[in-house]
Amino acid sequence: MHPFLASYQKLEGKIIDQSPSQAGNWLKGKLIKATHGSVTVAYTVREEMTNPGKILHGGIMSLMLDEVIGASNFLTGNEYLMTSINLSVDFLSPARVGDTVLVTSQLVREGKNVNHWQAEIRSEAGKLIAKASSNLITTPVKISDLTAPTKP
């Protein structure tokens, strides 16, 4: 097992608010499960995450999907950071303030330079809210060079 995965699994059941991603920290997701090739995070929809219709904003759904895919990809053990080259999202059902949604990623293809992912957002009852696919490409940034953000 890769050391990043082992460390991340120790966070299961905890709120993710100390990651290198400031956007991910803002979401305040709770890590449910982490394995090689899949991560599940629970998010509670807050007022500031909604559109004028008081439902979860599509941009925030995209952020949730991208964050979970990115975290999952980090746990595959690549020496270099990979970044999204595309993210295609279908928005299928609404979520409202106070709802908890579950975002789950699944590695479809692990390549030398590009990894292909799928992810979905479901309600606690299992209703499909959104689904996505994404490709991530290797960058020249070594993961070992990344540092967690410092709090003021």
Residue 114 tokens, joined: 């590009």
| Secondary structure letter of residue 28 according to DSSP | T
Tell me if 148 is assigned to some domain.
no
Can you tell me the mean pLDDT for 109-130? 97
Q: How many domains does the chain have?
A: 1
Cα separation, 45 vs 58, in Å, equals 12
SS3 70: helix
pLDDT at 149: 47
| H helix and E strand count, the chain | 3, 6
Q: What is the model's pTM?
A: 0.92
Q: If you average pLDDT over residues 86-92, what whole number do you get?
A: 98
Tens digits of residue pLDDT in 38-67: 999 999 999 999 999 999 999 999 999 999
Mean pLDDT across the stretch 90-103? 98
CATH code for the domain in which residue 27 is found = 3.10.129.10
Task: Let me know if residue 149 belongs to a domain.
Answer: no
Q: What is the pLDDT of residue 124?
A: 96
In a domain, 150, yes or no: no
The answer to the question of residue 151 being in a domain is: no
**Boundaries of domain holding 32:** 3-143
* Both structure tokens of 3: 């050391």
Q: Is residue 19 part of a domain?
A: yes
